[in-house]
Amino acid sequence: MNEVISIDGLSVDYSGYLALDRVGLSVNEGESFGLVGESGSGKSTLLRAIAGLAPVSAGSIAVEGTALAASRRSRAFYRRVQMVFQDPYGSLHPRQTVDRQLLEPLVIHGIGDEERRIQTALDEVGLSSGFRFRYPHQLSGGQRQRVAIARALIVEPSILLLDEPTSALDASVQAEVLNLLEQIRHDRGLTFLMVSHDLGVVTHMCDRLAVMQTGRVVERLSTTDLIAGRISESYTSKLMLASKGFTRDQLGV
């Protein structure tokens, strides 16, 4: 399989606090890869390091065969790699309409045919044209996250970094958004790197996963092995017990 994300010996140090400690993992093209662990385990920091939003102090990151600098990312990188954040309200500008927020990435990347692309992006996430000129406060949490997903997709990336994309939503809306993401990945052939504290989400969405604890990867395994209980670390067992929505049936998907 073709490796599209390769991380080796990656460390992130915040003034003496080691948020990531020599992390290594690889993600294959078209795969959905999960990062799980309790709060503070480093999983979101890893996504932020890939996106150039966290200070890399050691190690290397390569995306689609290109080695990345420690911090700065090129415009071409953000055309290939987009990130969807946990809080759909905080990630949208409160004083800009949906239309303006979808137009902005097209302008930044010099992509034309704005009218068609904006309408297509809304259609893809299940929102009608009536949402184009609404503001974030006029949308539900699920609708705001659909707009955030549309904004990430509109530049036609090949990789999505998903940082707890449904944890701020209630259970019924969470299932809808997860199914939407799964359909989009299938239709577009995207690669996902997804952070979640919920093993139910990971078993629904991901092919493989890495378990993180205190800034390190403590176990790597397939979703099939996780469901079957073929695990080697007691920490992973504790996560299974602590995760309320571990089965797909409980998640409602």
Give domain limits for the chain: 30-51+74-251
CB 88 within 8 A of CB 141: yes
Confidence of residue 245 (pLDDT cuts 50, 70, 90): very low
pTM: 0.92
Task: Confirm if 23 and 8 have CB atoms less than 8 A apart.
Answer: no
Amino acid at 53: L
Residue 165 φ/ψ, nearest 5 degrees: -70, -10
Residue 99 has pLDDT above 90, yes or no: yes
- Cα distances from 241 to residues 115, 138, 197, 249, 250, in angstroms, run 48, 38, 12, 16, 14
Checking if the pLDDT of 221 tops 70, the result is yes
Task: Report phi then psi at 145, rounded to 5.
Answer: -70, -35
Strand positions, DSSP E, 131-235? 159-163, 191-196, 208-213, 216-222
| Domain 30-51+74-251 falls under CATH 3.40.630.30 | no
Average pLDDT of the segment spanning 45-72: 92
Q: Is the pLDDT of residue 244 over 80?
A: no
- How many Å apart are CA 93 and CA 103, to the nearest integer? 13
For residue 242, the model assigns a pLDDT of: 79
For 124, the token pair is 């893809």
8 Å CB contact between 174 and 86: no
Mean pLDDT for 97-104 is: 96
Are 209 and 35 in contact, with CB atoms under 8 Å apart? yes
The answer to whether residue 215 scores a pLDDT higher than 60 is yes
